[in-house]
A and B are shown apart, each in its own frame.
Chain A
Amino acid sequence: MGLLDKLSGLLGLKKKEVHVLCLGLDNSGKTTIINKLKPSNAQTQDIVPTIGFSIEKFKTSSLAFTVFDMSGQGRYRNLWEHYYKEGQAIIFVIDSSDRLRMVVAKEELDILLNHPDIKHRRIPILFFANKMDLRDAVTSVKVSQLLSLENIKDKPWHICASDAIKGEGLQEGVDWLQDQIQAVKT
């Protein structure tokens, strides 16, 4: 049974689909996280619209996930930014052991937060400081410092340390996200 059962069950009552964007740099652990969250009966569609840019999508009865790597250069940007509009919640995954690319993750986050389709919406953001099991990993507190999360004033956000391979920390995050979506819905 997937971790999302409770979340999707709750939302299922409303018979309305919630779109979740799962973003982050390549290799941060998005696919691993999503696979852990996915109920076993979920239907998966992988689509590859352009070279150099791939999106994973899957749906449960009430949740639609769109996952993509925020890698590559400007020219694929408008392709993924196209999905921002329909996103109602964001999961942002960070590889806490990749110290060098922390600045890149911050840069991508800043661009995301300043995007016209995101900027003025009170959309909840869940951060996974992933790969916390690795020796080089920094703490989630340090990650939120490095990404200057304290500057996000107009959106609810939360950061959890996670180990996507063992599935640790994911439940805490999903619980938080659930509360947020519920708060918006009611």
Chain B
Amino acid sequence: MRPLSGVMENKMAASGDSAGCRPNSTEANSKWLDAHYDPMANIHTFSACLALADLHGDGEYKLVVGDLGANGRHPRLKVLKGPSVLTESPLPTLPSAAAAFLMEPHEPRTPALALASGPCVYVYKNLRPYFKFSLPPLPPNPLEQDLWNQAKERSYWGAWQGFGCASRRSRGDSSWPWPSSGGDSRKEEKAFTSWGKQGLWSKQDRIDPLTLKEMLEGIREKAEVPLSVQSLRFLHLELGEMEAFVAQHKNQPIKRQTVITAMTILKKNLADEDAVSCLVLGTENRELLVLDPEAFTVLTKMSLPSVPVFLEVSGQFDVEFWLTAACRDGNIYILRRDSKRPRYCIELSSQPVGLVRIHKTLVVGSTQDMLHSFTHKGKKLWTVPMPAPILTMSLLEQRSRGLQAVMAGLANGEMRIYRDKALLNIIRTPDAVTSICFGRYGREDNTLIMTTRGGGLVIKILKRTAVFGEGAGEAGPPPAQALRLNVPRKTRLYVDQTLREREAGTAMHRAFQMDLYLLRLRAARAYVQALESSLNPVSATLREPLKLHAVVQGLGPTFRLTLHLQNTSAVRPAIGLLVSFLYNESLYALPRAFFKVPMLVPGLSYPMETFVECLSDKGISDIIKVLVLREGQSAPLLSAHINMPVSEGLVAA
């Protein structure tokens, strides 16, 4: 708790939700305790590189961070205890994932830590280097190897000259305290001598660094087999550095290795919480590898159509398991124990930005700012739009209440928590969150750890009394969805009808379309006719927009007829209008069948009353036509037919 945490609280309260009823995280009703906030923690990472584990077996859980370093320089492995860094050590390349896993079933059951970085997984026990696993090498491009072999000879004299500066850079692998994965270095040695024996280079064909660069670039352009890292690094060098580089690498046959893009853990043969687990690696080479927990041999290898970026697994390696890989081609592939190739494929219409598995459902965040949910067989369940791009995702599991939910960190500084489609909670953070992790930390079960874009660290603890309710959320299924529909039973008629529909679907559709067009045609004709004869109560001329509406009151024999005339133009008053009634004079008598209308101010409705006397006592009624005319024009502007009611007064008398 630094005084800084107070600053955050103020900020958060100030940016409080305006929409009131939504589940938010303002001070008063927050479900979270603000345990720590350090905007200058200098942690730059993403969710895959965070792991929580009881690394010392003392019940105090630590946070493992594969830190990219500011601007991706100076990658480090950091272990945090409570709010502060316990240990940190530099990494040779950027980390891609971190995981804690149990290697063997014996006591003490303290988990090992695995950190994937470049082509290697560094395994630590008790925070001490224990093993370095390297991905098996790929066959190098023989042409490339040839070039390097020829370059070597010539650089012999330069080797000694440039050694001083080369040795600074050569720190690489040798200074690392890693027991390397045995056999392959010997193999490499052999490969090297065999090149020599075959005499593929001779002292005459020597290549100077510049030519080497040109030729390597040539190979890179053709790129049937990608260049080795060594060559790629060489191509980046300045002229002055080349000689030394060549000298330094003279004794190393080129190696081509792919890199690890994703890592997760899979239980070996028990479903227990603390069961021995295998590491599952995804590689740039479009493969998935499962490693033995103790020997770190490759137990199984599966290939994918694209490069995996997020992995989720369930089940146990020896029994049955599901592997889900969200890949760079925008697809999610699902593999099972017995399948060497994907069993199911989910096609997203955009790139995945996060993948979380809850029981048998998958939740994927996409670059279209959406959360999508699928079954483990690829059936789509739902989609929820997000208000901003999704930066990272992770699982929230509150064991004591059996809650599993998805957390999504958004670019607008919100961290949203969803159970299925229902929004449970929004946490507003002072800066956009780039990595999230929830679980037991220190001695507290429900701790939320977030790191921000600016390198800040936020730690919140879920209140012990907090319960996530769905009611507060705006999303969630509408109540109508819960109503049972009265679906008719499958009667004989229903079945016949369905069959007929299935067989004659096209014809039925055509018939329907035909009728629809006829209907539209008729309607259009009637409308045109009405317009031509101005038979409608709404004037269609643009110059004289008028609306007429009539009301008849009374029982008879005398009725009161009220006309409401309105000038619907925006500004222009209507002057010089006349109203005329046309009716059967043997049935009705009106005091004035024709009168002038006063000036109509736009927008107002003018009531005009007149009495109508019914002359017949036979209980018959007729229509009275109302025409609105303009002085000097014979065609009416608009007209209305008033259906007069039967005169009851007379009938009753």
Chain A residues close to B by CB (< 8 Å) = 25-27, 71-74, 77, 98-104, 106-108, 111, 136, 146
Contact = CB atoms under 8 A, between A and B. Distances in A.
B35 interface: yes
Contacts of B82: 98-100, 136
Given A98-B82, A136-B82, A103 B464 contact: no
Given A74-B467, A103-B35, 9 more contacts: A25-B443, A27-B443, A99-B1, A99-B36, A100-B35, A100-B83, A100-B459, A101-B35, A107-B463
A99 B38 CA distance: 13
B399 to A, nearest CB: 9
B443 A26 contact: yes
B174 interface: no
B282 interface: no
A72 B35 contact: no
A91 B195 CA distance: 78
A98 B36 CA distance: 12
B83 A72 contact: no
Contact of B34 (A73, A77, A103, A108): A103
Nearest 4 pairs between A and B by C-beta? A103-B33, A73-B400, A100-B82, A100-B35
20 contacts: A26-B443, A27-B59, A72-B400, A72-B464, A74-B464, A99-B36, A99-B82, A100-B35, A100-B444, A100-B447, A100-B459, A103-B33, A103-B34, A103-B35, A103-B461, A104-B33, A104-B35, A104-B464, A136-B82, A146-B1
Given A26-B443, A73-B401, A146-B1, A101 B461 contact: yes
B442 A100 contact: yes
Contacts of B464: 71-74, 104, 107-108
Contacts of A106: 33
B400 A100 contact: no
B400 A103 contact: no
A99 B33 contact: no
A26 B1 CA distance: 20
A152 B447 CA distance: 28
Given A74-B465, A107-B463, A107-B464, A100 B401 contact: no
B444 A104 contact: yes
B441 interface: yes
A117 B465 CA distance: 18
A99 B474 CA distance: 36
Contacts of A111: 465
Given A73-B400, A73-B464, A102 B443 contact: no
Nearest to B2: A99
Contacts of B83: 99-100
Contacts of B1: 99, 102-103, 146
B33 A107 contact: yes
A101 B444 contact: yes
Interface string B23-47: 0000000000111100000000000
A104 B443 CA distance: 11
Contacts of A103: 1, 33-35, 461
A101 B443 contact: yes
A100 B444 CA distance: 9
Contacts of A101: 35, 442-444, 461
A186 B305 CA distance: 84
Nearest to B460: A103
A108 B400 CA distance: 18
Contacts of B444: 100-101, 104
Nearest to B444: A101
Interface string B69-103: 00000000000001100000000000000000000
